[in-house]
Amino acid sequence: MRIAAIVSAPFAENSYVAHLNGRDDCLVFDPGLEPDKILAYLDEQGLTPAALMITHGHPDHIGGNFALKERWPDCPIVIGRLDAPKLTDPRLNLSQGFGQPVTSPPADVLLDDGECYSAAGFDLETRLIPGHCSGHVVYVWNGHPPLQVFGGDVLFAGSVGRTDFPGCSFEELFKGIHAKLFILPDDTLVLPGHGPKTTVGREKRTNPFVGERARREG
């Protein structure tokens, strides 16, 4: 498997392109606000997206959807059911409040907690982890050790997603991370929506918000 992280300004948001060796189809996770970078990478690698996998509906994670759908109109937008309304509503996705409304084409595929989705040779498990966003999901790939989590804005290296937006809850985020991420093997790779990759084990031990360090200091 090859995974490329493509960083978009102004929020340093990570979009990911994942594909398997020997295939020319791929998955694009959370197309950001600089879709030209993603398009350039896909053209350079000769890849065609089989699905746009959206972890949540905040504008920095959906801003590239229109550009990719314009190029590949049959490529489905896949998102957790509870966050789908944010795609088309700048009030719900909070972009309207920043004075630059961002919208996306509507979802083509809605996923529920625990549901699997398969495309481009990947079998992904959907795990609902609200807190940063009411319908935030992560995608877990168990195709080749170690496990990979495309995690959006749930768990970062040394931090967690913001919980000061409307509808956020640190308690829900804490509970979801422990119930659905910290049960994974320690070597599970977490590919976050911002910042460098990390592992479940590292965050369990050292994360100051949700790890053992947080419990000791709390």
Average pLDDT over residues 16-42: 98
Structural domain 2-217, CATH architecture: 4-Layer Sandwich (3.60)
Find all residues with CB under 8 Å of 128, minimum gap 6, and list them.
80, 82, 112, 113, 135, 136, 137, 176, 180
CA distances from 123 to 115, 128, 131, 133, 184 (A): 10, 16, 25, 24, 17
Query: Which residue shows structure tokens 């719900």?
Result: 92
pLDDT at position 216 is: 62
pLDDT over 60 (residue 43): yes
pLDDT over 80 (residue 144): no
Percentage of the residues of the chain whose pLDDT score is greater than 90: 92
pLDDT at position 161 is: 98
Report pLDDT digits (tens) over 75-112.
999 999 999 999 999 999 999 988 889 999 999 999 99
pLDDT at position 162 is: 97
pLDDT at position 126 is: 98
**151 neighbors 55 (Cβ within 8 angstroms):** yes
* C-alpha torsion sign, points 113, 163, 36, 5: negative
pLDDT over 60 (residue 218): no
Instruction: Give the Cα separation of 27 and 125 in Å (integer).
Output: 14
Q: Is the pTM of this model over 0.85?
A: yes
Predicted confidence band at 143 (pLDDT cuts at 50, 70, 90)? confident
Report pLDDT digits (tens) over 166-181.
889 999 999 999 999 9
* Among the ranges given (71-80, 118-127, 148-157, 205-214), the one the predictor scored with the smallest mean pLDDT: 205-214
